[in-house]
Chain A
């Protein structure tokens, strides 16, 4: 099986919030790492997950399909999904695929965490 060219790390800034830092490429091959981080976060009690795209440098259409699947799983589990540090190009992709209508997008992690805290 082709190796994924991605690194995914999980951080817990608070009990209920998890941040998943994505470094590299989001393609179908990133699924095991991304889903593992999501599962760990939700198993440990997070009800909001912030996807940090600062390190993203390639995404193809199967990668967007993976994000859609992740979003739907999160919705079903009543877990909020937020996106931060999206470069302009990736914001356009979210707009093209209408993911921007389902995922809250913030410029920075601090903005996202502040929004979660105020809710």
Chain B
């Protein structure tokens, strides 16, 4: 972070935050991206989700790498999806990870259906960027990616604060998703470290901030991205393919 004189009318972080949005707007996406469950959705914060609230930290120390936190974040922002494990795709907006931009996620599921959801970039500066999730995403919450100097060693950190967004997601997460989520970020940080020629273990900690279920959030299931993606692949996609095939004849 740079040190600048305090301006009481314009805080230092003013240009790093997205503006409030009513509903997400997806800009142009590649043709291969399954773009569902994002356009028009509202954001959900952790207070609006269903399941227990977790705060997690995944941390990797880039010992031996002569790289600043700013370089790590710049590299991470520019190549965010490339550090993801195979099977999950992050379709960044054309302008990249910048405040106010919307990305589409296509995620692998254990039942073979491609799940489509998205995120809004709520914050991005030279040492930190953060996302918030829309209705339908498995998690109501926010996640921050940052890098900092710890006694001469640059550390990369992923910090989600999240809870499942509805009871269907909570069941899926307990059966499969929570462990998959952990594996995803551990593999992502391992790949990021490898990019800087560091072979390091990812440290992980998790805290239950609120163990209770919020039954008033059951209605979030209406937007459940897994259900909607599944219905799309079962009913809409086959019809589209038939129409495309017919139009070619």
B-binding residues in A (CB < 8 A): 1-2, 5, 25, 27-29, 56-62, 64-65, 68-69, 71-73, 75-76, 87, 89-90, 92-93, 95-99, 101-102
Could you say which of B11, B14, B142 contacts A64, with CB atoms under 8 Å apart? Answer: B142
Q: Chain A's nearest CB lies how many Å from the CB of B205?
A: 13
CA separation between A76 and B52, bound complex, in Å? 12
Contact A58 B12 (CB under 8 A): yes
Contact B21 A96 (CB under 8 A): yes
Contact A87 B128 (CB under 8 A): no
Instruction: Identify the closest chain B residue to A55 (Cβ).
Output: B6
CA separation between A69 and B131, bound complex, in Å? 16
Q: Chain A's nearest CB lies how many Å from the CB of B181?
A: 16
8 A Cβ contacts from B1-44 to A: 1, 6, 8-14, 16-21, 43-44
Identify 11 residue pairs between A and B in the complex whose beta-carbon atoms are under 8 Å apart, listed by A's number: A58-B12, A58-B13, A61-B122, A61-B128, A61-B142, A61-B144, A62-B144, A68-B161, A98-B48, A99-B45, A99-B47
B53 at the interface (CB under 8 A from A): yes
Which of B19, B47, B48, B122 counts the most chain A CB atoms within 10 A? B47
Q: A65-B144, A87-B9 are in contact. Are A102 and B20 (CB under 8 A)?
A: no
Which residues of chain A are near B212, meaning CB under 8 Å?
76
Which residues of chain A are near B18, meaning CB under 8 Å?
96
Contact A61 B20 (CB under 8 A): no
Contact A89 B48 (CB under 8 A): no
CA separation between A29 and B46, bound complex, in Å? 20
Q: A28-B159, A61-B128, A61-B129 are in contact. Are A89 and B10 (CB under 8 A)?
A: yes
Instruction: Identify the closest chain B residue to A101 (Cβ).
Output: B47
Which residues of chain B are near A93, meaning CB under 8 Å?
17
Contact B45 A98 (CB under 8 A): yes
CA separation between A57 and B3, bound complex, in Å? 11
Q: Chain B's nearest CB lies how many Å from the CB of A71?
A: 7
CA separation between A57 and B7, bound complex, in Å? 8
Which residues of chain A are near B9, meaning CB under 8 Å?
87
Contact B150 A62 (CB under 8 A): no
Which residues of chain A are near B20, meaning CB under 8 Å?
92, 95-96
Q: B41-69 interface mask toward A, CB cutoff 8 Å, 1 = contact, 0 = none?
A: 00111111000010100000000000000
Which residues of chain B are near A62, meaning CB under 8 Å?
128, 130, 144, 146, 159
Which residues of chain A are near B209, meaning CB under 8 Å?
69, 72-73
Contact A68 B47 (CB under 8 A): yes
CA separation between A95 and B125, bound complex, in Å? 20
Instruction: Identify the closest chain A residue to B5 (Cβ).
Output: A57
B148 at the interface (CB under 8 A from A): yes
Contact A97 B122 (CB under 8 A): yes
Q: A65-B55, A72-B53, A98-B47 are in contact. Are A89 and B17 (CB under 8 A)?
A: yes
